[in-house]
Amino acid sequence: MKITSSSLPRFRMRRVVVKVYIARARGKSGAGAFRAHLSYLQRDGVDRDGAGGDLYKREGGEVDRRRFLKNSQTDRHQFRIIVSPEDGHAFEDLKSNTRTLMAQMENDLGQKLDWVAVDHHNTGHPHTHIVIRGRDGRGRDLVIARNYLTQGLRQRAEELATRTLGPRRDLEIIRAQQSEVSQDRFTSLDRQLAELERNGRVAVEPASGAKNRFARNLHLRRLAHLEGLHLAERVGLQQWQMKQGWDETLKSMGRRGDVIRSLAAEHSTQIEQNTLKFWGDRSGDRRALLGEVLTSGPDDELRDRRFLIVRDFEGGHWHVPGGEDLALPEGAIIEVKDRAGEPRPADRTIAKIAERNGGFYSNDLHAAFDPSSTAAYREAHKRRLEALRRAGLVERHANGSWDIPDDYLKRAAAFERSRGGPKIVVKSWLSIADQIDSRGPVWLDHLNGNENPSLRSAIEKRHLVLKARGSPDEKAMAQAELHEAAKAHAVKTGEIYQALSTSDQFRGRYKGHVDLGQGRMALLSNGKEFTLVPWRRDLTHLRGRGLTIERTRSGISFSITRSRTRGLSR
């Protein structure tokens, strides 16, 4: 589709950051992921007064959230968009701006869109989250051209902001450029310096004309600031030697500053910027990190990913990237370590076929190797190779065959290690203080002779508590703790607790979880009865769904059920 450009020069346009992510509904938990995203967008603290965000739509009035989610249940995907005007604070009403932008988007696409939005004011830049259903008006999969999502929509947003607030004036442009001089982050001035850099040095030549002299002055002042950060050193009248990796250091400083501001805005958590360490920035020391969760913050709001701030037991603070299903309470004890990274079964099949065919893989070679393989099965191997090709690990020929290097399995393993961030193992869902007095068995019970002073003190206090209780065995403590938690929920709700024996089944809705010393327990209820069973990570997106659970000799099995819940059965 053709987008008519504004007649204004680019530097006069109001700048707007637009981020887009197409979220796929993966398996049975897809609808749950869509529901979780709306909950995440409406979480407490995102509005001006610290409350949750209000959903709105094309027309005025309250959004029927349940109806929107129900209609989305069969959608294969949804479009998630963040619109962040640089001058967002100057808008009287972001809602009006969003409705106008979405009307323009519908006009560009030639069809109505089913969308909801929520405004966030919890950062330095007010911004809007928009969720568009992945179905068009005829119920077909909604397809939007990539160039419109990556370029056209941003252009429309900038044109709208410029119409609303007026073109950027000279004074505004000058102030914006001057503000970059002293920022501890990678800026547009640094991008210009990087273009001037030759063999690690930047030369700032004399300039003529007011515009060029102003730009030169900005470069000189910026270099002086970088010199103060020990990222540049003056080696001549007009030359600076740049420290190796100076640009990446600035980008890392910017990320660190963003995290600090996010923590201060959402949690009033105060951490000195120069003491915060990033898990991904470690070089030689690859030891696991053991510590307690202080808090968390938004890392990627399009994908619902949050980061953790972890305090190790020596007092250091760490930024740890999390995942979309991360839901750790403050005070939880975790171990963070690098993922081992193993090739997938498909990788081993690909490597075996390539070994027999001179380092080549293709659909025909696969079919000859395994005549019983289906076209869909071979297509899955092709998709795997496409993912590795985009990462620069394999090459594809025009005839559809692939070059498979001798170290393919090592490359595939490294690719797996790089995905999804570090591995996070929960040692205890309870804080150290709560573990000391817990009725159930806790992580502290299994530590002996730890040299860390803070842990050693906690272990000693825990031993005194257990001694006063007659040193009960672990199994008895676990049963007593579970009984106490069940009793508390029964008193609160009036429901009857049903303990599950081997071969027992229970049908109910997954209501959430309860964190105990022995671990996290899933709570299922049918309105009259409830049960508590060991929690699993794959329950994260199934909150509110009807489940049938069964206790077997090997543990608990879950299955989604659409039938009416009936409680306990044998």
Both 29 and 149 in one domain: the answer is yes
- How far apart are the C-alpha atoms of 32 and 560, rounded to whole Å? 12
- Do both 30 and 72 map to the same domain? yes
Give the span between the Cα atoms of 321 and 80, in whole angstroms.
Answer: 21
User: Would residue 304 count as lying in a domain?
Assistant: no
Number of domains in the chain: 5
Residue 21: per-residue pLDDT? 93
DSSP designation for 135: B
Element spanning 272, H or E: none
pLDDT digits (tens, 9 = 90+) for 200-257: 999 999 989 888 999 999 999 999 999 999 999 999 888 999 998 899 889 878 877 7
Can you give the pLDDT at residue 568? 58
Q: What is the pTM of this model?
A: 0.69
**Local structure of residue 58 (DSSP, 8 states):** S
Which range is least confidently modeled, 63-72, 257-266, 400-409? 257-266
- Stretch 132-153: mean pLDDT: 91
Q: Can you tell me whether residue 362 is helix, strand or coil?
A: coil
Residue 436 lies in a domain: yes
In angstroms, the CA 487 to CA 491 distance is 6
In a 3-state reduction of DSSP, which class is residue 229? coil
Which tokens is 110 given? 């030639």
In this predicted structure, what is the pLDDT of residue 570? 47
Q: Is residue 406 part of a domain?
A: yes
Residue with tokens 């008895």: 476
Domain boundary residue, one of 247, 274, 307? 247
pLDDT range class, residue 557, cuts 50, 70, 90: confident
Q: Which residues pair with 64 in a beta bridge?
A: none
Please give the pLDDT value at position 324: 54
Q: What is the rounded CA–CA span in Å between residue 156 and residue 16?
A: 10
Side chain identity, residue 506: F
Q: If you average pLDDT over every residue of the chain, what do you get?
A: 87
- Say whether pLDDT at 464 is over 80: yes
Same structural domain, 442 and 391:
no
Secondary structure (H, E, C), 464-508: HHHHHCCCCCHHHHHHHHHHHHHHHHHHHHCCEECCCCCCCEEEE
Q: Is residue 85 a part of any domain in this protein?
A: yes
Same domain, 219 and 101: no
Is the Cα dihedral 467, 471, 472, 478 positive or negative? positive
Which of 91-100, 161-170, 300-309, 441-450 has the weakest average pLDDT?
300-309
Specify the pLDDT at position 362: 95
CATH number of the structural domain spanning residue 368: 1.10.10
Helix 246-267 and helix 188-196, axial crossing angle in degrees, nearest 10: 170
Same domain, 16 and 148: yes
Q: Which two tokens stand for residue 335?
A: 């171990």
Q: What is the CATH number of the domain that holds 508?
A: 2.40.50
- Residues 498-524, mean pLDDT to the nearest whole number: 93
User: In this structure, are 191 and 239 located in the same domain?
Assistant: yes
Whether 98 is covered by a domain: the verdict is: yes
**Residues of the domain holding 405:** 345-418
Q: How far is CA 301 from CA 83, 120, 122, in A?
A: 12, 11, 13
Cα maximum dimension of the chain: 89
pLDDT score for 268: 54
Query: 83 and 37 in one domain?
Result: yes
Confidence at residue 541, expressed as pLDDT on a 0 to 100 scale = 72
Q: CATH code at 92?
A: 3.30.930.30
Hey, which of 52-61, 137-146, 199-208, 516-525 has the most confident mean pLDDT? 516-525
- Name which of 304, 311, 361, 358 is nearest 336 in CA terms: 311
Residue 308 inside a domain? The answer is no
| 505 and 398 within one domain | no
Least confident of 13-17, 414-418, 517-521: 414-418
In a shared domain, residues 439 and 410: no
Same domain, 36 and 156: yes
Q: Provide, rounded to the nearest whole percent, the portion of the chain with pLDDT above 70.
A: 90
User: At which of 135, 165, 195 does a domain end?
Assistant: 165
pLDDT at 325 > cutoff 70: no
Write down how long the chain is.
Answer: 570
For the stretch 409-449, pLDDT in tens is 999 988 887 766 788 999 999 999 999 999 999 999 999 76
Residue 340's identity, in one-letter code, is A
Three state DSSP letters for 375-421: HHHHHHHHHHHHHHHHCCCCEECCCCCEECCCCHHHHHHHHHHHCCC
Q: Is residue 18 part of a domain?
A: yes
565, pLDDT greater than 80: no
Query: Does residue 300 fall inside a structural domain?
Result: no
Q: Poorest-confidence range of 35-49, 133-147, 552-566?
A: 552-566
| pLDDT at site 78 | 94
**Cβ(536)–Cβ(558) under 8 Å?**
yes
Which pLDDT tens digit goes with each residue over 69-109? 888 988 999 999 999 998 888 888 899 999 999 999 999 99
Whether residue 48 is predicted with pLDDT greater than 90 in this model: the reply is: no
Same domain, 62 and 100: yes
Q: Residue 230: name the closest of 241, 216, 221, 238 by CA.
A: 241
Q: Which of 131, 165, 199 is the last residue of a domain?
A: 165
Distance CA 180, CA 90 (A): 20
Bridge partner list, 428? 333
User: Are 24 and 57 contained in the same domain?
Assistant: yes
Token digits for 93?
């009403």
Provide long-range contacts, Cβ within 8 A and 24+ apart, for 236-245: 238/203, 238/204, 238/205, 238/206, 239/201, 239/202, 239/203, 239/204, 240/201, 240/202, 240/204, 241/200, 241/201, 242/193, 242/197, 242/200, 242/201, 242/202, 244/200
